[in-house]
Amino acid sequence: MNPWPQRLQDYLTVRRAMGFTMRRHEKLLTQFTDYLAEQAVATLTIEDALAWATSPRHGDARWWAARLSMVRGFAGYLHAIDPANQVPPGGLIPAGPRRIVPHLYTDHEIAALLQAAGSLSFPLRAATYQTLIGLLSATGMRVGEAIRLDRTDFDADLAAVTVRGTKFGKSRLLPLHLTAAAGLQDYLRLRDRLTPHPATSALLLSTRGCRLRYQRVWEIFHQLVGQAGLIPAPPAKPPRTHDLRHSFAVATLLDCYRNRADVQSMLPRLSTYLGHTDPRDTYWYLSAAPELLVLAADRLEPVEKDPR
């Protein structure tokens, strides 16, 4: 019996439940699974994926890479269910710049970063970077947005911050968890005591009482990554500040699936919270965590009927 059509349909069902149309993927992956059936293979291998992706001899590297990219998504789903299936690594067919694979921080790694930040010289610097890392982790905002926050953008009564001058020129209100709001209030009390007359209206202050500079944030963050001993899992690159945004999005979606929430209705709200103008930019985060595919597949399995 040929198992590949059902495996493909299960994968397409999961992806469509996440908001993807998958029309082009269905066409090409059907060709791929037909190829696997002809080869009489039971598990997906890198060799089979590469052979099929490069089979149109008239195609160029970009077309081959696009075909292999579609197979990679399918392979990741199969591997999460059965590790015997192999996932082709990225870059097998170079075809120009690609999106960087994000490093998804665990709670333990974020705690290690916060601990490393606490060891920075000068109490204000330590508190500022602990607050910055906590804010990025709790809200998924962009680093530039956090740096541009003014003190008046934090509303302690509402437990929210207003992000202004975003990447796409729109402002948005971000509700905070009560612990995050309390942490911001503690930081403000400390910075007011250490720097009662800052030279800026910024929420987050440097040791000189000025607004943080992106380049300096980048330098210190990478110093903290080293101190925390964070090592990325291939094919991810060394952890970046922006990966805290990816981690927030993925963690939010994982929580939705684990809590049996309505993920379809959550996605547009998450997209708005992150400041995306196109929900497709939010959907991309779904491919960063194979665990999401497994949870989605579990959600779609029919509930067993009560034998009574």
> Is the entire prediction scored with pTM above 0.85?
no
pLDDT for 294 equals 66
Phi-psi region of 22 (alpha: psi -120 to 50; beta: other; left: phi over 0): left
Those residues of the chain that have pLDDT short of 70 are: 95-100, 167-169, 233-236, 278-281, 283-308
Q: How many CB atoms lie within 10 A of CB 147?
A: 18
Residue 242 annotated to the active site:
yes
Chain segment 291-300, per-residue pLDDT in tens: 666 666 665 5
Residue position matching structure tokens 């001993």: 229
Residue 103 annotated to the active site:
no
Helices and strands counted in the chain (H then E): 13, 3
Catalytic residue among 142, 148, 191, 240: 142
pLDDT for 307 equals 41
Pair 300, 14: CB distance under 8 Å: yes
Burial class from Cβ neighbours inside 10 Å (0-12, 13-18, 19+) for residue 301 reads exposed
Residue 299 annotated to the active site:
no
CA-CA distance, 53 to 51, in Å (whole number)?
Answer: 6
Residue 79 annotated to the active site:
no
Residue 80 exposure: Cα atoms within 13 Å on the Cβ side: 20
Catalytic residue among 167, 193, 213, 269: 167
Catalytic residue among 125, 242, 257, 283: 242
Pair 31, 291: CB distance under 8 Å: no
Pair 141, 134: CB distance under 8 Å: no
Q: Measuring CA to CA, which residue among 75, 102, 99 is closest to residue 250? A: 102
Catalytic residue among 77, 187, 273, 285: 285
Catalytic residue among 25, 211, 246, 276: 276
pLDDT for 305 equals 39
Residue 167 annotated to the active site:
yes
Catalytic residue among 240, 245, 246, 273: 245
